[in-house]
A = this chain, B = another copy of it.
């Protein structure tokens, strides 16, 4: 039973059907097909504002291209120390930007705080000898399965904008966050000050479809050339576009996210004493002793150790298509195996 990552999930039926539906005849390539051309409009409806939308192949590409578009090669990008761009993208932001610097920020539950950002801005003044503060990136939901509240984003974006920074959101699990907040997608993005969003669909039911959504239309500028030269302009663009349209227009994004979030809450409830972070999306982080981990693995559960080796955390990710019985089995196993000991 796999709780390794929502990247292990399959694609939803709605997605496969959408692919099949557009799979006939000769259609213009490189974004000139009718479905790609409808993306701006469809996402404008989804976000209730004018946007520019571009598909790319991966979330790493989405993050790095978005950041490279708003950050000069001598710029600084502020990010939480646990962010995917910091931990899991093998210097992709540096590559795409031509050598920008990521400055990492501390913060509980993988959240950047206004205070941490303010301190970082103060200790990174812009002179000719230093990297130039250029962007703030926030992950929603975070790498620790928590969710920024709307007012938290607004406060961070406000401070960032005061200092001339662009604000990017890594929305690899955007749907999970919106489902938890119960808000409109606009509320946690442009209405709160987000300039550009990495909109992830792959983890939450697509076959392979990521998008970059620009709310600040001035920032698009040279984006398309950067996308092309990084090998991220898909030739048969209709298939990615069809996925994204089905994802946002059928409500699939919300259905899948709500299901995964609900299952994660069940697991969280079964390990309440051991939760490292509140369960606010589709991930559960808990403190487990080595023997407890071994017992769970012996019982057939796959999951990742998390954090520095001695921290003893385990991460369980619930996919949109996680079988109910996997979750029930995990809850039962946790009740059985995990002793009621406070490991903090």
Picked from B2, B56, B99, B308, the residue with its CB within 8 Å of the CB of A98 is B99
Does B8 contact A28, Cβ atoms closer than 8 Å?
yes
Q: Which of A15-23, A137-145, A258-266 contacts B (4 or more CB under 8 A)?
A: A15-23
Q: Which of A125-133, A176-184, A283-291 contacts B (4 or more CB under 8 A)?
A: A125-133
Min Cβ gap A54→B in Å is 11
Chain copies in the assembly?
Answer: 4
Instruction: Closest B residue to A102 by CB, please name it.
Output: B101
Does A208 contact B234, Cβ atoms closer than 8 Å?
yes
Whole-angstrom CA separation of A132 from B321 in the bound complex: 34
Q: Which of A58-66, A293-301, A333-341 contacts B (4 or more CB under 8 A)?
A: A58-66
List the B side residues contacting A101 at CB < 8 Å: 91, 94, 102
Picked from B10, B65, B226, B235, the residue with its CB within 8 Å of the CB of A58 is B235
List the B side residues contacting A27 at CB < 8 Å: 8, 10
Q: Which of A82-90, A152-160, A187-195, A274-282 contacts B (4 or more CB under 8 A)?
A: A82-90
Decide yes or no: A128 and B224 within 8 Å by CB, A57-B232, A231-B64 being known contacts: yes
List the B side residues contacting A240 at CB < 8 Å: 208
Picked from B10, B74, B119, B122, the residue with its CB within 8 Å of the CB of A229 is B74
Does A122 contact B308, Cβ atoms closer than 8 Å?
yes
Whole-angstrom CA separation of A203 from B202 in the bound complex: 23
Whole-angstrom CA separation of A60 from B229 in the bound complex: 8
List the B side residues contacting A28 at CB < 8 Å: 2, 4, 8
> What secondary structure prevails in chain A residues at the interface with B?
loop
Min Cβ gap A202→B in Å is 6
Does A10 contact B24, Cβ atoms closer than 8 Å?
yes
Q: Which residues of chain A from 48 to 100 have any CB-CB distance to chain B below 8 Å in the complex? A: 56-62, 64-65, 72-75, 87-92, 94-100
Whole-angstrom CA separation of A65 from B232 in the bound complex: 13
Does B2 contact A60, Cβ atoms closer than 8 Å?
no
List the B side residues contacting A26 at CB < 8 Å: 2, 4, 8-10, 319, 321-322
Q: Please give 10 more A-B residue pairs, beta carbons under 8 A apart, in addition to A9-B236, A73-B95.
A: A7-B29, A57-B231, A61-B230, A74-B91, A89-B231, A90-B128, A91-B99, A99-B99, A207-B236, A208-B234
List 30 A-B residue pairs with CB atoms under 8 Å apart, sorted by A's residue number: A2-B26, A2-B28, A4-B26, A5-B29, A7-B236, A8-B27, A10-B27, A16-B19, A16-B20, A16-B23, A30-B129, A56-B231, A57-B58, A73-B91, A73-B95, A73-B226, A74-B226, A89-B231, A90-B229, A91-B99, A91-B229, A92-B230, A92-B231, A94-B101, A94-B229, A97-B99, A98-B99, A119-B308, A128-B225, A208-B239
